Amino acid sequence: MARRIIAVTMFIAALVVLAFAAQTATVQAAPPRDDGVKGDPKHGAYLFLLAEGCGCHSEGGKGFLAGGEVFDLGPAGKVYPPNITSDPETGIGNWTEEDIVKVLQTGHTPHGEQLFPVMPYATFSGMTNQDAHDIAAFIKTAPPVKNTVPERQLNVPVPQVPLQQPAASAPTSGVARGEYLLHRVTLCSDCHTPVDAQGSPDFSRYLGGQEGLGPNITPDVATGIGSWSQEQIYLLLKTGVRPDGTKVGGLMGQVVDCCFKDLTETDGFAIASYLKTIPAVNSAAAAAPPQTLPTTGMTGNQTLLAALVTLAMVLLASGAFVWRSARRTK
């Protein structure tokens, strides 16, 4: 019972955070896009992997991107990642590239449905239009798989999350490129930022490690990766091998094996250079006062919105985990 109370509290807190974020947002409508953009599926395949291969759509056991896995959100209901293969009947074979881009950047389907924000469209909304079109072009190449996914079962309204304007262009190297990839393409913060007793991310210790999930990847020498060179960080992302020769396992091992193994040297060093610029966090020390993270183009308001959305997503995910664990222990 206690776990369920904690889970319900997390769900309510997530909805409150999303409501506050929506009030804070200055960009609520779908971001303008250039319909003349043409996606490159080859580049899209690469970005698709950096976004962890849209793995939620392949966990139902029916095939690549065939959907079907259930996300139990406790009292909020259940959602099912849909079939996004090119099957015209049970997938998205009839969608245009622009339709897919709209879902990636706004969460709105061609049929007018607003997706629940367990799909990280709030993050992807800041992706450039070209990058979003490239990913969409690749998704359209997915072989058709017939698999009808159950309708979602929600007991709460779909929360309206704030959207960013797409970046005008994607940085090509250095710290700016690393920041763009880390915040608008990958989901590294979800596992590497600590959470408090209630499961809320502690942004005063950004990327300072989440117990049992992701280690400290700030430039702290004692408890983080401050003694690592940029090349060593890149090789860990690319191969999963730490500087001491041991190999990562768990979720990070899966991410490396499925996705990051194809990381380019330029992007790997860009992420490494960005990680070197963030405030160092000593995992063994008490939480420090909130710090201002380095930015490379995001306004203060956009940074706040990104933090609020990330907080809400972690609350939702944590609440779902606690709710499921409560059911298993009955």
The per-residue pLDDT for range 106-115, each reduced to its tens digit, is 999 999 999 9
In-domain check, residue 291? no
Structural domain contains residue 120: yes
The answer to whether residues 81 and 69 touch, using CB atoms and an 8 Å cutoff, is yes
- 271 DSSP β-pair partners: none
Task: Answer whether residue 149 is part of any domain.
Answer: yes
The model's confidence at residue 133, banded by pLDDT at 50, 70 and 90, is very high
On whether both 148 and 49 belong to a single domain, the answer is yes
Q: Say whether both 145 and 182 belong to one domain.
A: no
> Contact 128/167 with Cβ under 8 angstroms?
yes
The CATH number of residue 208's host domain is 1.10.760
Same domain, 265 and 309: no
The tokens 């759509």 sit on which residue? 57
Tell me, yes or no, whether 163 and 199 share the same domain: no
Note whether residue 255 is domain-resident.
yes
pTM for the model stands at 0.76
Contact between residue 231 and residue 242 where contact means Cβ atoms under 8 Å apart:
no
Percent of the chain with pLDDT over 70: 74
Q: What are the residues facing 241 on neighbouring strands?
A: 247
In a domain, 289, yes or no: no
Are residues 165 and 122 part of one domain? yes
Which residue range(s) make up the domain with 78?
2-171+298-328
Verify that 264 and 138 share a domain, yes or no: no
Domains: count for the chain:
2
pLDDT tens-digit profile of 61-110? 788 999 888 888 888 899 999 999 999 999 999 999 999 999 999 999 99
- The CA distance from 122 to 179, in Å, is 16
226 and 211 in a common domain: yes
Does residue 83 form part of some domain?
yes
Alpha carbons 293 and 313: distance in angstroms, whole number: 20
Q: What is the pLDDT of residues 285-318, one digit of tens each?
A: 755 555 555 444 444 444 555 555 555 655 665 5
* Cα–Cα distance, 2 to 4 (Å, whole number): 5
Pair (91, 212) in one structural domain: no
